[in-house]
Amino acid sequence: MTRGSMNSRLRWILPIPLLLFAGAIWLYVETENEVRVQILRAQKQWRETDYMEAIEIYESVYQDYPKSRYAEEALFEVGTIYYINFYNADRALHYFRELVTQYPDSSLAAQTYMRLAEIHEVELTDLPQAIDYWSQTLALDVALELRRQIYFEMGDAYFKLNQFEEAFQKFQLLMDDGINDSLAERARAQAGIILQIQNQFEESVDYFNQVLEGPECDDCRRMARLGLIESYEFLGDLAKAIEVAKTIPTSEYSAQEKGDLLKRLDNKARVYEPQRFTGG
């Protein structure tokens, strides 16, 4: 075979892989466009509150085009419809679990784990399983804002499970990250309560006072004031307990409730600290 004939044949052979590659790209683009049309149809049905029709379209996308980039979105939307629109936690769990199992690297993985955690926390009151899903979310590359929210949710769940050391550790992460916001103050107030439970009343006073000195957070400050009163009572410093009670605004306690609290503390002080009232 002459050099010329070989070159001639190579000119025909070399483009074949390129043609096949180009054909594959064209087919992929056409398929994705078709799937996108189906997704848009499903979204339209959802907006028209035809939820079952939307589910059927989404399911067909996942079943017929499992390798499409829209398949994971279809699973997420079906799970969301069952959870939000039909209040069917069991069916929602099925689709959310399917998503993180079949598409562990999905951009929707973190959002899906959060939904799974929410369902187990709110609907099933299965806090250990919710904690597990929050932990799996933290294993992903998630934004700082979401990471901090998860720390608080996990701390609160551990608190409800009476696992106070684990709860305190999660709250500590929020108190130490340098972001002084209402979430950190909520964590600090909860940490103060944990210290009370562990009979560390003097330490709890520091935490509650820090909450009162921190940024505005009405719920946090209410917890801190009541926590301070309780800690001062246990420490036998009724004068300080009364002093804190006097600072409670009516937005936190009604005038009647505040009056009853002050009366109780005053009566207790008359028994345990009579010298304050007799001048002795």
Q: How confident is the model at residue 210 (pLDDT cuts 50, 70, 90)?
A: very high
Structural tokens at position 100: 């993180």
The domains of the chain are located at 24-133
Stretch 246-254: mean pLDDT:
92
For residues 190 and 28, give the distance between their C-alpha atoms in angstroms, rounded to a whole number.
53
What is the predicted pLDDT for the residue at 7? 54
Percent over 90 (pLDDT), the chain: 80
What is the predicted pLDDT for the residue at 216? 82
Give pLDDT tens digits for 81-127: 999 999 999 999 999 999 999 999 999 999 999 999 999 999 999 99
Stretch 174-200: mean pLDDT:
96
CA distances from 97 to 89, 94, 141, 159 (A): 12, 5, 19, 27
What is the predicted pLDDT for the residue at 261? 96
Q: Is the pLDDT of residue 1 over 60?
A: no
What is the predicted pLDDT for the residue at 22? 45
Q: How confident is the model at residue 9 (pLDDT cuts 50, 70, 90)?
A: low
Highest mean pLDDT among 1-5, 66-70, 177-181, 200-204: 200-204
What is the predicted pLDDT for the residue at 52? 98
Q: Is 50 exposed, middle or buried (0-12, 13-18, 19+ CB in 10 A)?
A: middle
Give backbone dihedrals phi and psi of 212, rounded to 5 degrees, phi first. -65, -25
Report the topology of domain 24-133. 1.25.40
Contacts of 204 (CB under 8 A, 6+ apart): 192, 193, 195, 196, 227, 231
Percent over 70 (pLDDT), the chain: 87
Query: Half-sphere exposure (CA, 13 Å, Cβ side) for 252?
Result: 19
Q: Is the pLDDT of residue 40 over 80?
A: yes
Stretch 52-72: mean pLDDT:
95
Average per-residue pLDDT for the chain: 90
For residues 223 and 190, give the distance between their C-alpha atoms in angstroms, rounded to a whole number.
8
